[in-house]
Amino acid sequence: MNTSEFENLYEQDYYLWVEKTSNLLKERKFTQLDLKNLIEEIETLGRSEQDKLTFSLRIICKNLLQWQYQAAKSSKRLIKTISQERDNLSDYLEDIPSLKSVLQNRQILIKAYRRARRNAIRETAITNLPEDCPYSIEQILDLKFFPKVY
């Protein structure tokens, strides 16, 4: 199979492309690889890991907002959800320590918070939630941190 046919296979039968790529890698036939699509797939894997991180931050932020701004409805369920997601995030960062550096990029928190805020507004009908994230990464990760209830 020539390179052009291999590249077409990526579009036509992704699963077969993955199998063939895996076999070529195992056989160390690097010159036969569809490098363009292989590089794209590897980059996608990295973005996927970052997306999981963003998703966890979003869940924690949304629930912290609900805890803080819905005092009458602050419940054990929220505490449980926040604690579980913090544990999940902690485990995830332990498994992939290089993702800790991603947390230093403020953009990931901005993105996660923007969606968390939108979801919290939709779920609670409270519209006066802060535009900017009121929590630091350290607070979000801190198993003992719960914001003051309003």
Give residue limits of the domains in the chain: 58-141
Q: Which single residue is written with the structure tokens 């199979």?
A: 1
pLDDT of residue 35: 93
33's CB contacts (< 8 A; 6+ apart) are 6, 21, 24, 25
**E strand spans, 1-150:** none
The tokens for 87 are 């544990």
pLDDT tens per residue, range 69-120: 986 666 888 999 999 999 999 999 999 999 999 888 889 999 999 999 999 9
Greater model confidence, 49 or 113: 113
Greater model confidence, 5 or 67: 67
pLDDT of residue 142: 96
Give the count of alpha carbons within 13 A of 15, CB side only.
0
pLDDT of residue 13: 95
